[in-house]
Amino acid sequence: GDSVTQMEGPVTLSEEAFLTINCTYTATGYPSLFWYVQYPGEGLQLLLKATKADDKGSNKGFEATYRKETTSFHLEKGSVQVSDSAVYFCALGGATNKLIFGTGTLLAVQP
């Protein structure tokens, strides 16, 4: 079945460091791919998405490119801030009416 694998955390970075959180997927057909973010004590909210191969989603300085050849959707940001500290979830949405989430990656940014 469909699945998402993302790197385990926690990821600890200093402010202004470069961020990469890896995400790979297994799916039949042509899924949509998402990154959701969960700030402490809150529900999840959409960070960015891509609906077809080679699409790049971007928001708040974060970006991710839908790579069909490597079945990947890695999240990147050039310069992280303390306010980016959160849990990041990669997710896959296919034709089955079900959104499949990865296990989440905790990002801690230190000043």
Partner 1 sequence: NAGVTQTPKFQVLKTGQSMTLQCAQDMNHEYMSWYRQDPGMGLRLIHYSVGAGITDQGEVPNGYNVSRSTTEDFPLRLLSAAPSQTSVYFCASSYSRGTVTDTQYFGPGTRLTVL
- Applying CB under 8 A, the residues found at the interface with partner 1 are 32, 36, 42-46, 49, 51, 89, 93-95, 97-104
Q: What token pair was written down for 81?
A: 């801030």
> Both tokens of residue 37?
């973010």
Q: Which is nearer to partner 1, 14 or 103 (CB)?
A: 103
Q: Which is nearer to partner 1, 68 or 98 (CB)?
A: 98
In one-letter notation, the amino acid at residue 49 is K
**Minimal distance in Å, beta carbon 89 to partner 1?**
6
- The residue (of 20 and 51) whose beta carbon lies closer to partner 1 is 51
CB of 59 to partner 1, least distance (A): 11
E strand segments, the chain? 3-6, 11-14, 19-21, 23-26, 32-38, 44-50, 56-59, 62-65, 75-77, 86-93, 99-101, 105-110
Helix/strand/coil for 39: coil
Report the nearest approach of partner 1 to the CB of residue 19 (Å). Answer: 19
CB of 54 to partner 1, least distance (A): 16
